[in-house]
Amino acid sequence: MQRVLKRLGMDSKMALGYLGVILFMMGDGLEQGWLSSYLTDNGLSIQQAALLFSVYGVAVAVASWFSGVLAEILGTKKAMILGITLFLIGTIAFLTIGLPSMNLWIVIPTYSLRGLGYPLFAYSFLVWLTYYTPGNKLGTAVGWFWFSFAAGLNVLGAYYSSFMLPVLGEIHTLWSAVIFTGIGALITIITNKNDSSSRKTFETRQEMVKYLLKGITIAFEKPKIGLGGIVRTINTTGAYGFVVFMPAYMMEVGFTRTEWLQIYGALWTSNIFFNLVFGIVGDKLGWRNTVMWFGGVGCAIFTAAFYYVPAFLGTNYIFITITACCFGACLAAYAPLSALIPSLAGNNKGAAMSVLNLGAGLSTFLGPAIVGAFIGGVGTLGIIWIYTILYLLSAFLMKFIRLPKKEGENPSADFTDLKDTVGSSN
């Protein structure tokens, strides 16, 4: 077994951690593909649903920003315990107080409390991973992380919901999230017995506060890291916006809710496998070029296709599923950012990860916010083109994000300079 895991780029400790992430994110994301339509069917407008997801995104962004530096201040194990605690409190409040009332001003804070939990859990594990993994294997390791993250959040959760909603109903399906997140958190936290390599010590409280703020100030001290945060924000902006308006659009052109959930699941099934592919490709061909061409340009092409394929071909399940798979694959091409950006930060990898995590969190706000702000004026097609332009912008920004190169070094081998910066911390 150890030999198999080694060939896959991991050891038994990492493998158990990835399993825990899969189960936790499955519980967190099982409602993504259908909660918006459930809310609009039960009294909320699409703008109100967009507002809910936008505020939830703010909560995710805040927790995402804190996750990197908190993992280094508290230790990754304590940060993950804090994450699962907040998630469970938020879930219970959302299901017992928020949804039964269907009052927007109760639903928003309870659902947002739930959103504080998963970034602290998942991204703290990612910080541990950047310290634990040898530098020349880091692209593959973060590829496995995003494989696990997306497999749980967007694939298994979506397919689980498509089968269990007719059996359990919406509320009981949401309650089952507690089981998956609890088991996943337990596995990962027990696995992470020693997180001392990623924990920093501070002599005074002022030093701790200063390092906490490092998760923002480093973006200005090292502008390439700041640009990386912008690119990471754009990465999943379209994906998180899709869950607000795409279910209604797909059902408008003739697909059923079950078919949409399966299409959505296919998108993220493709994504999880290509997270591994582009993690390896990034290590071989260069992290920057992988993100620029396969990520930015690829996502722009298939975001537009997501509208035009059903617009011209109607309810052609095969073609829209292929389009969804291609879009999911291109989303995965951003995975090498999680190796590239920390490598620019020297001994402040946790702070650099906080910038990336903030970008990931901001995308959960920006995606739905764009829908809420513009869909009334520009419609579905206009929203699609806003996302398309953003993806092209991310490709352009990647031109300015690269590691310093040694004289005579192959420009595509982005990982070589990482051996000194990451390898020294293990």
Digit-by-digit pLDDT tens for the chain (426 residues) are 667 767 666 767 788 889 999 999 999 988 887 888 888 888 788 788 888 888 888 888 888 777 777 887 788 888 899 999 999 999 999 999 989 888 888 999 999 988 888 888 988 888 888 777 776 677 778 778 878 887 888 778 878 888 888 899 999 999 999 999 999 999 988 877 655 555 566 556 677 677 667 777 888 888 999 999 999 999 999 988 988 888 888 888 888 878 888 888 889 889 878 977 887 788 787 888 899 999 999 999 999 998 899 888 888 899 999 999 999 999 999 988 877 888 887 777 777 877 887 888 788 889 888 998 898 889 889 999 999 999 999 999 999 987 766 433 333 344 333 333 333 332
* Reported pTM: 0.71
* Residue 375 belongs to some domain of the structure: yes
The Cα–Cα gap between 229 and 334 comes to: 12
* Residue 71 belongs to some domain of the structure: yes
* Residue 5 belongs to some domain of the structure: no
The Cα–Cα gap between 200 and 402 comes to: 27
Structural domain tally of the chain?
A: 1
* Residue 424 belongs to some domain of the structure: no
Helices (H), 75-176: 76-93, 99-101, 104-115, 117-132, 138-150, 157-175
* Residue 1 belongs to some domain of the structure: no
| CATH number, domain containing residue 71 | 1.20.1250.20
* Residue 425 belongs to some domain of the structure: no
The Cα–Cα gap between 189 and 76 comes to: 9
Nearest C-alpha neighbor of 7 from the set 276, 194, 286, 271? 276
* Residue 215 belongs to some domain of the structure: yes
The per-residue DSSP string of 123-148 comes to: HHHHHHHHHHS-GGGHHHHHHHHHHH
The Cα–Cα gap between 20 and 142 comes to: 15
The Cα–Cα gap between 177 and 143 comes to: 25
* Residue 2 belongs to some domain of the structure: no
Structural domain that includes position 142: 10-419
Per the listing, tokens 């950006």 go with 341
The distance of Cα 99 from the centroid of its chain, to the nearest Å, equals 25
